[in-house]
Structures are given as structure tokens and as C-alpha cells.
Structure 1
Amino acid sequence: MSTFTIDPIFILLTGVVIVVGGIIGLKLHPFLALLLGAFVVALLTPASAIEQFFLAKALAPAAAKQMAHKTIGERIASEFGSTCTKIGILIAMAAIIGKCMLESGAAERIVRSLLNAIGINKAPVAFLASSFFLGVPVFFDTVIFLMMPLAKAMALRTGRYLLLVLSILAGAVMANSLVPPAPGPLFLVGEMQIPIGMMMIAGTILGVITATSGYFFALWVSRKTSVPVRDSAEAKLEDLKNIAAKDDSQLPALWFSLLPVLIPLIFICADTFLNSFYKVGSAETSTVSALIGFVHFFGDKNIALITGAAVALVLLVRQKKISREGVSSFVQSALSTGGGIILITAAGGAFGGMLQQTGISARIEELTRNYQMALIPLAFIIAAVVRTAQGSATVALITASGILAGMASGNLEYHHLYLGLAIGCGSKLVPWMNDAGFWIVCKMSNLTEREALKTFSPMNFVMGCTGLIVIMIAARFIPLI
């Protein structure tokens, strides 16, 4: 007796209609719409597809079969919990850091110092450059957590909140897509056998070009779309305005204001450097070994953010002279905001996870296997379609590089570096509701889902396509072979 199998593309489209229609059309809360979409996608996915998905992830046949026969609720909860594992502590600590920096006046001090150094008209460019620099060693979501409080404080001066937000996102997105030792590019370097130094140099050049195109798009769209700094639980507008009216003598010192951001950044960068470029051997002294262990411990992104949050609380207590009870109440308020973001982001992860289990990546690979097209745009399109279909840039990178790794070793007219760069650019198109990062952007910036789809998502499209054009021109005129 033959079994009827639903095409993963049909399941994908059904999930899209439910989530987008539920949030924008029916005005459902994103948490509910995402869980409903995850449930329907899981219900439509046959056990055979789930088993094949886990076999492709190198699970033993018995384990893959066991995963395929889990209940829908167990599968959704598993992906929900997996996303929480990745971002739960980060979001909670980032909520504390952000609120502390706003309430203590630290964000205001940083903004005033920045304006004194570069002038108010260059603030968006400074945010773009800063987020690009941070996006290389630090995860994309961590950059958003660290810089959004500064954008809110700066917007009270410039009145260009959307431009500041998009400038931050443009820099962070492209650095994290193209420049090792960011995780995605680091994976590409190994899979495609690209020299890491070459990827760092080329990725930085291409990243600057694409982020600049994103900035020009941000300038254009911010003239057409006005987004105010909205009142939110972690950043009341009245409080921000009161802080902005304070004299410089009432604000914390600049070095102290920077500590909650610099401490996580320094430790994460140091740990990334050690993991990427330093090989542990038997020749180290006990002091060096202890120092390496110290860096590895505090360089863990969760520990680094916890440390930053502790310093931020010390800054708040010292600046506002609040009691222990006041600190407890303050943390409770910050975590209430963070908890809502965690729930929505984890639900987005569950929806994306259910889409992955349909076998959508393998289906796309099957459709493109015999597609007669030049390799560079093919690499870009495969990565873009997989990313848009199931929400994970990592899965898009793995899928596209898996398809093209064999071709990269063939007789190309250009260096296969360009294929890796094309995959990196394509993996950022197009963020929407099935992407956990999309929800982090929405909730940390207070953009509505509709506003993010009209600004952030098209900006990624512009940057990705700009990257593709530059790559094809460079491969033609600077083949590097």
C-alpha cells in the first residue's frame, strides 16, 4: 500500500500563510501564531521525512526512528527548548544590561561622548561602523542587545531612530555573514577549503561595500517611513527624556559607562581569537594555561553577558543609590521584558525547526541539482532560498556548501573563494517570521512586524544582491588564480 507524501514546498507555503496571516491579518500575538504555524507544519510532516532529516544530521538509524515517532508536542517543545538554550540567558542578561545603561545614564554618557567626537550628523555612520566591528567576533543577536539601548538614547537627540536601528543591523548582518571568525564564515572556510586569511580580507572588503549599500537603503527608507522611539517597559520615554536633560556631572564616567559592554566584548573576542588561531600544546607554563582557562571561562557568551549584567547592576546602584529591595524590583522589571522576548523568539525557533524537519532543504537541493546556471549565482540562490524557506542561516550555509563543495575543487575560471562569499551573501535573504533573529530585532528595537518586513527584510535583500553583483564583477576581472 503506497503512502501519500506531502511536498515540503506545500507545507512551507501553508506555514507561511498561517504565521503571516495570523500576525498581520488576524492580529494574533506572535507567540500564538508561531506555535500554531509550528503545529500545522508538524502535523503535515510525515514520519519518513523526519527520520530522513535526523539521519542526514548523522544520528544513528534507531535514534532517528525514535525522533520521528515522537509526538507533535514533544517535537515542538524540543525545538522550543533548543532555541531557549541558545538565546535564553543572553536575552535575560541583555535586558538587564540595557535597562541598567538607560536608567543609570550610562547610555546617555556614551551618546554625548560620541556626539562630541564625531558630530550629530555622523552618528548613523558611527553606529554602522561599530556594529560591523562588533559583528565579526560576536554573535549577531549579541550586537543587537548591546547597541539598541544606545540607539534609543541617541534618537532623542537626532530624531532618526529608524536610520540608527537599520545602521546597526546593516553592519552586524554583513560582518557576521562574511568575515571569520564569525561562526558562519568560519564554517564556510572549512567546508569549502578557503584560506582563512583570504576569507577575512575579501569578506571585510565585501562586507564594507554591502553594509554601505544597506546604509544608503536605510537613508532612503527612513525618509519614507517614520518610526518613533516607542514607550516600552524597559525604556520609558519620560525617563529617557529626564536623563537627557541631566547635567554632565550627574552622569557616570565614560569608562564606567562602557564597562558593561566592553567586558563581554573583550572576553568573547579573546576567546574567539584563541579558538581560531591558537593551538593548545604541552609547552605552556602553568600561568599561561591558567590564563587560557580564565579566558575560555569568561569568553563563553552566556558567562560574558552575565558578567556584563553584574557590572551594569553595580553601575546602577552606585549611580542611583538604590537599596537591595530596589535592585530586586528593578531586575524583576527587566526580566519581565526579557521573558516576553524569549518566548516569542523560542516560538520562532520552534516554527523554523518544524520546517527543517519537513525536508525542505533536501527538496531544494533536488530542484537545483541539474539547474544549468553559472555557479556563483547558483550558490547565492540556493543559500537564499533555503534561508528564506526555513529561517536558519546556518542551515542555508550547510546546504549550499554541501551542494557546491565538490564543484569548488573543479577547474574554475576564478578562485572558489567567490563561491563562499556568494553563499555568505545569499544566506542572509530574506529574514521573516520563521527566523529567531527577526524576532530579536523586532522586540529589541520595538519595530512592529509590518515595519520590520518593510525595512529590515528589504535592506537585507539589497545588501545580498549588491554582494552578488560585486562578487561576479570581481570574479570576472580579479579571478585570483
Structure 2
Amino acid sequence: MDELDLVMNWELGTGGLLVLAASAVAVLLVMIMALRVHAFIALMITSIGTALAAGIAPASLMDALRFGFDSTLGNVMLLVALGAMLGRMIETSGGAQLLADRMIEVVGEKRAGLGLSLASLLMGFPIFFDAGLVVMLPIIYAVARRVGGSFLSIALPSAVAFSAMHIFAPPHPGPVAASSIVGADIGLVMLVGLVFAVVIWYLVGVLLAPRLGMRFDVPIPTLLDSTSEKTGFESSPRLGTILGLLALPLVLILLNTGLNTLGSAREDTEAFLSDPLVSGLRLLGETPIALLITVAVSMVVLGWGAGKKGTLIEKITDSALGPICSVVLVTGAGGMFGGVLRVTGIGDAVAGSLNEVGMPVIVAAFLIAQIVRIAQGSATVALTTAASLMVGVIAAGDFTQLQIVAIVMAMSAGSVGFSHVNDSGFWLVSRFFGMDMKQTLSTWTVIQGAMAIVGFVLSVLLYAAASVLA
């Protein structure tokens, strides 16, 4: 409620907010799974009903709806649109199939999913979850077409790799914000977070996710498909060209990350980062700008450089936008639902109650982040909320830096757990992987829950080891 000035007709207590949240999720599940209402419509109806039931006055309703929708759509739309254009050009040129063939030659068909997942893990260090997944989609689709078998067993490990990096390792916003709030050493958080991400990727992404994926026969999505007919954009790109196009946004984003890290380590941080040259280079590494530059370079290299006409290049890039419209709108509506749950105060009410129970700090850190995540959907909000509530406890205690890092990891683990219908990422994975809601709940929700549990166990082990060393 601090982020919006809403007019309220009444305010519910913690118990009422919990009942409302559970009821809203139940209604949404019935609408989508039983009544077969389109997810976008169902999410809008549920968001409106939840806001009004929570006491938000009609005059403030649109502000509450836009709170989550606008921010989610603003973050996702540019990344998905630019990533889809890039993917479409790589796909239609033959570059995706080339990469798939070469990768399979190196790792073998039986390890194709592992090879994709490992590549996603490396890409996931500098690039955000949604942007990285979109860039990898044409490669995932091409590999799945080549090796056959279960599509989800090939695709899900890559999503786990991106998610693990996004949740546990700086420079991603959640762990950076939490570290700043509680005063954790960001370098130590990065080192430990990378170790956690790799362990969780292997245990959940490599060992568990393919087994869950085998349970469902999901056809390969056709969002970026060009195999049904010739487009005229086909060419014979070199392997180095395609790898260079995929590496370009990563290099630019790493440039941004490196400069930000260097600036934070200097005494004159503000002056350094505001320097015209430095700020210009940082701009090039902002994810939407990096993807835009890569799309422009792809148009030159795969388009005009390959002898294609401008009208054909325009047609190919435009054809990438139509299929992803549903993905963007459903994802934005998922953000709307999560935003409504956030402004009604559900997450804060539950977190505040848990913080007063007096349980061990490492357990409280995990549970607060986990329940806020389940209540309102956003992993970053869950992590920063938990950090804000735990900072007083940490400041009052005699904790070593390694113990504080373990607490940050516990909060990170809690913030990833059990993604469901109020999480925009849930709908992103659902639509890009061609799953219905029941399939997504049976795979992605379970996977994210497993990531949370493994992360919490690792955090407890680290905290115990740090306590022995203290």
C-alpha cells in the first residue's frame, strides 16, 4: 500500500487477506482448467474481483490493475519482442538448425538437453531469465526437432538454468537488492550464489526436470517455426556468425555489469558512473538496448549482407510479433494479478506475522520470502520484502559475513519456490513451452519448489559451517 495511494472502502485483517488470496487462486484455477476461459480474460476478471473484495474503491481500481500490469508489460514486452525478432531471423536463416546440428555432433543426441542447459547456465549469468529464455528458444526448438522424444525434457533444464542464475547470483536484481539491504558483502554473495546456482541447476535441472518433462507429450511450439514453408530468408550462415550474434548481447550486458561493479567498488561511485563515456557504455549494456543492437546487426548480417531485400527483412521481423502477442498479454495479466495481491497488503501482512514468531533466523528468512512469493508472485519483491523485514534482526545480532550471506541465500531460495498462477514467469514458461495450466503446475511449479528446497538445505549447511568457523 506504500507504493500506491489507493482509496479503500474497507481493510481486511491478515486472516481475511489470506482467505481472499486462496479464494482468488481457486476461482482462477476453476475458470481456466474447468471452464476453459482464456488465461488473459480469467486473470483480468480475477484481478478485478480480488481488488474489489479487498476493499479497493472503484475509483482506484484501474490504478491497482495497472500497478502490476504496466510494470510487467514494460519489462517483458521489449525483451520478448526483440528476442523474438532475433530468434526468427536466426531460425529462418538456418542458423538455429546449424547450431543444433553442431552441438549434437559434440555432445551427442542423448546429451542434447544437457548441452542446451549448460549453455543456458553460462548465458544466464549476465542476462535476465525472460530475455535469456527468449534468445535460446529457436535453439531449443531446433534441437528438439532434431533429436525427437520429449520436448519438455529438453526444454525445461534450460529454463531451470536461467532461473537459478537469476535468483541466486548477482548481478541480477533480487540478490543485489537483498545484499544491499542487509549489508552483505556483494562479492561473497556472488561467489556463493554462483556455487548455489550450479548445484541447484545440476540437481534440479539435470536430474529432476527431464524426468518431469517425460510425463507429458507436448508438441514442439510453432512460435518461431519456419519449417512448414520456405520464407526466402534461408541462407548458409557460418557457425561463427550465429555464435557471434548470440554472444553480442551477452558481451554488451557484461560490459554494463562490469562497469557497475567497478563503480560500486570505488569511493567516487556516483562521479564514475555519471561520466559521459562510462554512462554511454553502460547504456549499451542495458538489456533492451543490447537486444536492439543485436537485432540491427542481425538484419545487416543475415539480411542485407546475405543479399536479402529490405521488404523481406521487414516481413520476417514483423512475422515474429504476431505469435508472441498472446504470450506478452498473458504474462502482463499474470503480473496484474500479482500486483493486485501486492497492493492489497497480503504479502506484507503474512510476512509481518511470521517475523514476530521468533523462529531461527535462517528459517524465518526462508519462510518469509517463500510465503510472500506464494502470496503475490514476484520473486524479486519476495526477496526484497524478506530482506527489509530481516535487516533489523540481522543488525541486532552478532553475525559474520558468511552467516549473513547464508541468510541472503535462504531468502533467495524462498523467493523462487512454487511459482504459480500469480507469477508472470509461470505464464511465460507455459506459453513458450506450449503447456496448459495443469501441465505447467505439474512441471514448472514442482521444479521451482524443488529449487527452493535444495537452496534452503544448502543455506542451512552454509550457515551451520559459518557458525562453527565463527
Is TM (by shorter chain) over 0.5? Answer: yes
Instruction: Report the counterpart of residue 4 of structure 2 in structure 1.
Output: none
Whether the 8 Å contact between 1:259 and 1:311 is mirrored in structure 2 is: no
Q: How many residues align?
A: 452
Whether the 8 Å contact between 1:345 and 1:440 is mirrored in structure 2 is: yes
| Counterpart secondary structure, 1:252 | coil
Structure 1: tracts of 5 or more residues without a match: 48-67
Residue 408 in 1 paired to residue 394 in 2? yes
Residue 273 in 1 paired to residue 258 in 2? yes
Q: What amino acid does structure 1 have at the position aligned with 2:209?
A: A
Cα distance between partner residues in 2 of 1:24 and 1:364 = 28
Residue 19 in 1 paired to residue 28 in 2? yes
Cα distance between partner residues in 1 of 2:464 and 2:171 = 27
Cα distance change of structure 1 residues 339 and 362 upon mapping to structure 2, 3 Å threshold = same
Instruction: Report the counterpart of residue 375 of structure 2 in structure 1.
Output: 389
Cα distance change of structure 1 residues 427 and 434 upon mapping to structure 2, 3 Å threshold = same
Q: What amino acid does structure 1 have at the position aligned with 2:145?
A: L
Deviates more, 1:366-375 or 1:402-411: 366-375
Residue 195 in 1 paired to residue 185 in 2? yes
- From 312, 315, 323, the equivalent of 2:309 is 323
- From 148, 162, 165, the equivalent of 1:172 is 162
- From 39, 54, 67, the equivalent of 2:48 is 39
Residue 5 in 1 paired to residue 12 in 2? yes
Whether the 8 Å contact between 1:128 and 1:168 is mirrored in structure 2 is: yes
Instruction: Report the counterpart of residue 442 of structure 1 in structure 2.
Output: 430
Whether the 8 Å contact between 2:47 and 2:336 is mirrored in structure 1 is: yes
**5 Å matches for 1:25-424?**
25-47=34-56, 70-159=59-148, 160-214=150-204, 215-230=206-221, 232-238=222-228, 251-278=236-263, 291-318=277-304, 321-409=307-395, 410-412=397-399, 415-424=403-412
Instruction: Report the counterpart of residue 58 of structure 1 in structure 2.
Output: none
Cα distance change of structure 1 residues 70 and 304 upon mapping to structure 2, 3 Å threshold = farther
Cα distance between partner residues in 2 of 1:257 and 1:366 = 50
1:129-169, Cα deviation, whole Å (9 max, x unpaired): 22222222211111111111111000112224212211111
Q: What amino acid does structure 1 have at the position aligned with 2:90?
A: M
Cα distance between partner residues in 1 of 2:34 and 2:302 = 42
Deviates more, 1:140-149 or 1:221-230: 221-230
Whether the 8 Å contact between 2:170 and 2:190 is mirrored in structure 1 is: yes
Cα distance between partner residues in 1 of 2:385 and 2:362 = 15
1:371-394, Cα deviation, whole Å (9 max, x unpaired): 243222221111111111101111
Alpha-carbon shift at residue 349 of structure 1 (Å): 1.1
Cα distance between partner residues in 2 of 1:309 and 1:100 = 9
Cα distance between partner residues in 1 of 2:12 and 2:444 = 36
Cα distance change of structure 1 residues 412 and 431 upon mapping to structure 2, 3 Å threshold = same
Measured on the aligned residues, the alpha-carbon RMSD in Å equals 2.8
Structure 2: tracts of 5 or more residues without a match: 1-8
Cα distance between partner residues in 2 of 1:266 and 1:339 = 28
| Counterpart secondary structure, 2:31 | helix
Alpha-carbon shift at residue 281 of structure 1 (Å): 8.5
Alpha-carbon shift at residue 99 of structure 1 (Å): 1.1
| Counterpart secondary structure, 2:214 | helix
Cα distance between partner residues in 2 of 1:32 and 1:3 = 27
Whether the 8 Å contact between 2:370 and 2:415 is mirrored in structure 1 is: yes
Cα distance change of structure 1 residues 3 and 318 upon mapping to structure 2, 3 Å threshold = closer
Cα distance change of structure 1 residues 122 and 293 upon mapping to structure 2, 3 Å threshold = same
TM-score where L is the length of structure 2:
0.88
Alpha-carbon shift at residue 465 of structure 1 (Å): 0.5
Aligned sequence identity (%): 26
| Counterpart secondary structure, 2:90 | helix
Cα distance between partner residues in 1 of 2:223 and 2:214 = 28
Instruction: Report the counterpart of residue 454 of structure 2 in structure 1.
Output: 466
TM-score where L is the length of structure 1:
0.86
Deviates more, 1:432-441 or 1:315-324: 315-324
Whether the 8 Å contact between 1:259 and 1:308 is mirrored in structure 2 is: no
